[in-house]
Structure 1
Amino acid sequence: MDQTKKDRILSMFRESGVLRPRDLERAGISGVYLNKLHAEGILDRPSRGIYTLVDGEPSENHSIAQACKQIPRGTICLLSALRLHDLTTQSPFEVWLAIGEKSRLPKIDSPPLRIVRFSGDALSYGVVEQEIEGVAIRSYSPAKTVADCFKYRNKIGLDVAIEALRDCLTQRKATMDEIWEAAKVCRMSKVMRPYMESVM
């Protein structure tokens, strides 16, 4: 393999911890080189079409970056969004991802996903963007995540939702007004009102 191309590819991995063949092709390099570097033991292939450096140092949110690289239109939600915003000490085994009601169910080998279907304003409201390992990540804001936790309290536990509400306010990740607005969007205002009053 041409050493210059190899150096360019490794430099791309230092900027973005996760790459696909199309990322190389955009830079004018054939995606075939990823397979060659994988065969040489320089790259790992955790999922079909996804490559990472074998000796790379993944962040604690590596699985989130991996999921978003493969499903760029998905939005990190619920337990994974709590983790992103440091609103829980739990580290979920699966990546929680929201997709549209009629979106096709993503099929990926790794990381394990927990898909939740949102619709209307609940899907589009409160989306924030950030970058992890060079990958664009869409997630719900702390306020929207708290409201979602109450909406899905039967799946994740009411205690988790209450803890998220307390931590969100204590850490000043969102104001009471922002949480109340998100509660209305999620149609959770009646459910959340007594809990919000108790922490005021």
Structure 2
Amino acid sequence: MSESDSTRSFRVQLQSLFRLHGGQLRLSEALAKGINRYQFYQLRDEGLIEPVSRGLYRLADLPPIENPDLVAAVTRFPHAVLCLISALDWHGITTQIPHQVHLAVERDARLPVLDYPPVAGYRFSGRSFSEGIAQVTVDGITLQVYNPEKTLADCFKFRNRIGMDVVLEALELYRTRKTFLPGKLMEYARICRVANVMAPYVEAKL
């Protein structure tokens, strides 16, 4: 086989490997499959693959990434959960534009830090971390995000950091744009230990 045939065969092999992984592949995964680093970077230099975030690449002929900041943050911190204003934005119940990606981690975990996109990390403990997590797909990447009701309870808990006006706007947008579930809201309010604070505002929306 000539060198050009060998190169062509390799390109087909690596592109097939990318497609098996939904068009995106980590360098470490490629190395584990027997692809050497030089071959991998050769494809990058030829413009056939492009970086998404550190260590993660995608086929260049895929549609443009719609949420590059979320993808970059999630690939760096796969065990974190999208929370607070970022989760409100995901669910369409805020007019705020997140200037950071808000991520929750378990109490004993290191807070996520990233230069770009900027990340704001929060430590949650016990059930306040583990309850209410939904898994969604963003640009081919699995993302963890708190459901709307858990997000609202978290916002009441962190109201001094994000602003009560933001919290109350989110509650009203939740009432008008989602199925209003006061029982579910109060269930998460109890988990987050903000039931006494949250109850009057929920009752006012009934």
TM-score range, shorter chain: 0.7 to 0.9
**Could you tell me whether the CA contact under 8 Å between 1:88 and 1:164 is conserved in 2?**
yes
Seq. identity, % = 35
Distance 2:36 2:72 in 1: 18
Larger Rg: 2
Q: TM-score, normalised by structure 1?
A: 0.85
- Give the aligned CA root-mean-square deviation in angstroms: 2.4
Partner in structure 2 of residue 100 of structure 1 = 106
Structure 2 counterpart of 1:48, one-letter code: R
Query: Mapping of 1:1-200 within 5 angstroms?
Result: 1=7, 2-9=10-17, 11=19, 15-16=22-23, 18-25=24-31, 28=33, 30=35, 32=37, 33-45=39-51, 47-52=53-58, 56-59=63-66, 61-200=67-206
| Aligned-pair CA distance for 1:9 | 4.9
Cα distance per residue 1:85-104 (max 9 Å; x no partner):
11123331211100011112
The answer for unaligned runs of 5 or more in structure 1 is none
Alpha-carbon distance change, 92 to 53 in structure 1, aligned in 2, over 3 angstroms: farther
Structure 2 counterpart of 1:22, one-letter code: S
The answer for unaligned runs of 5 or more in structure 2 is 1-6
Q: TM-score, normalised by structure 2?
A: 0.83
Structure 2 counterpart of 1:30, one-letter code: I
User: Relative contact order (alpha carbons < 8 A, sep ≥ 6): 1 or 2 greater?
Assistant: 1
**Could you tell me whether the CA contact under 8 Å between 2:18 and 2:25 is conserved in 1?**
no
Number of equivalences: 196
